[in-house]
Chains A and B, each alone.
Chain A
Amino acid sequence: MSYFFQLVVSGIVVGSIYALSGLGFVLIYKSSRVLNVAHGQIIASGCFITYALTVWAGIPIYISFVMSMVITFFLAMSVERIFLRRLIGEPIISVIMVTIGLMSIIDGIVYLTPFGSENYSFPEFFPQTPIEVGGVSVSWTQLVGVIITMVLIAGFSWFFKKSTVGISMRAVSDDQLAAMSIGVSVPRVFGLAWATAGLTAAAAGGIIGNITGLNFDILHSFGIIVFPVVILGGLDSILGAVVAGVLMGLIQQFASGYLDGNWGLNGTAEVLPYILLLIILLFKPHGLFGIHEIERV
Chain B
Amino acid sequence: MSANRWLTTGNYFTSYQQEQRIFSTLLDRALFIVFILGLFLWPLLIKLSSRNMLVVDTILIAIVAVLGLNLLTGFAGLISIGHAAFVGVGAYTVASIIRFIGDDHMLITHAWPLVILFAGFVGAAFGAFVGLPSLRLRHLYLLMATLSFQIIFQWVINFSTFFNQGQTISVGRVFWFTGKIVRKQHYVFWYYAILVVIVLLGLGVRNILRTRYGRSLVAVRDNDRAADAMGMHPGLTKVYAFALAGFLAGIAGALHAYLYRGVGFESFTLHHSIVYLAMAIVGGMGTLNGSFWGPAAIQFLELRVENLAEKAGHYFPSNMNLSTALRPLTFGLVIVLFLMFEPRGIANWWRIVRSYVKLWPFRY
Q: Give A residues with C-beta under 8 Å from B.
A: 33, 35, 37, 83, 86-87, 90-94, 96-98, 100-109, 111-112, 114, 116-118, 224, 227-228, 231, 235, 265-267, 270-271, 274-275, 277-278, 281-282, 285, 295-297
Contacts and interface: CB of A to CB of B under 8 A. Distances in A.
A295 B159 CA distance: 38
A102 B139 contact: no
Contacts of B140: 33, 35, 92, 96, 235
Interface residues of B, number: 54
B148 A94 contact: no
22 contacts: A83-B340, A92-B139, A94-B339, A96-B79, A97-B335, A98-B340, A101-B333, A105-B333, A106-B332, A108-B325, A108-B327, A117-B321, A227-B148, A231-B144, A267-B155, A271-B151, A274-B152, A277-B148, A278-B130, A278-B152, A297-B136, A297-B138
B332 A281 contact: no
A111 B332 contact: no
A32 to B, nearest CB: 12
Given A281-B144, A285-B136, A108 B340 contact: no
Closest 9 CB pairs of A and B: A108-B329, A104-B332, A101-B335, A105-B332, A111-B325, A274-B148, A101-B336, A271-B155, A107-B328
Given A116-B324, A117-B320, A118-B319, A87 B133 contact: no
Interface string B153-172: 00110110000000000000
Contacts of B155: 267, 270-271, 274
Contacts of A114: 319-320
B302 to A, nearest CB: 13
B332 A101 contact: yes
Contacts of B145: 277-278, 281
B158 to A, nearest CB: 7
Interface in B312-364: 319-321, 324-336, 339-340, 343
Contact of B340 (A87, A277, A282): A87
B141 interface: yes
B306 interface: no
Given A101-B336, A274-B147, 4 more contacts: A104-B331, A105-B336, A112-B329, A277-B148
A224 B81 contact: no
B200 to A, nearest CB: 29
A40 to B, nearest CB: 11
A282 B328 contact: no
Contacts of A83: 336, 340
Contacts of B130: 278
A114 B316 CA distance: 12
B235 interface: yes
A297 B332 contact: no
A103 B331 CA distance: 10
Given A37-B81, A278-B148, A105 B328 contact: yes
With a 10 A CB-CB cut-off, give which of A90, A94, A96 has the most chain B CB atoms.
A94
| Main SS class of interface, A | helix
A181 B141 CA distance: 30
A277 B152 CA distance: 11
B81 to A, nearest CB: 7
A108 B159 contact: no
Interface of B: 73, 77, 79, 81, 130, 132-134, 136-141, 143-145, 147-149, 151-152, 155-156, 158-159, 224-225, 228, 234-235, 274, 277-278, 281, 319-321, 324-336, 339-340, 343
A17 to B, nearest CB: 19
Contacts of A90: 343
B158 A267 contact: yes
A97 B332 contact: no
B61 to A, nearest CB: 21
A55 B142 CA distance: 42
A293 B152 CA distance: 27
B234 A297 contact: yes
Nearest to A277: B148
Contacts of A275: 148, 152
Contacts of A270: 151, 155
A93 B139 contact: yes
A91 B222 CA distance: 10
Given A94-B339, A267-B159, A297-B137, A227 B144 contact: yes
A25 B152 CA distance: 22
A267 B155 CA distance: 8
Contacts of B225: 297
Contact of A104 (B79, B149, B335): B335
A92 B141 CA distance: 12
Nearest to B228: A297
B357 to A, nearest CB: 29
A117 B321 CA distance: 8
A130 to B, nearest CB: 31
Contacts of B151: 224, 270-271, 274
Contacts of A281: 133, 137, 141, 144-145
A102 B340 CA distance: 12
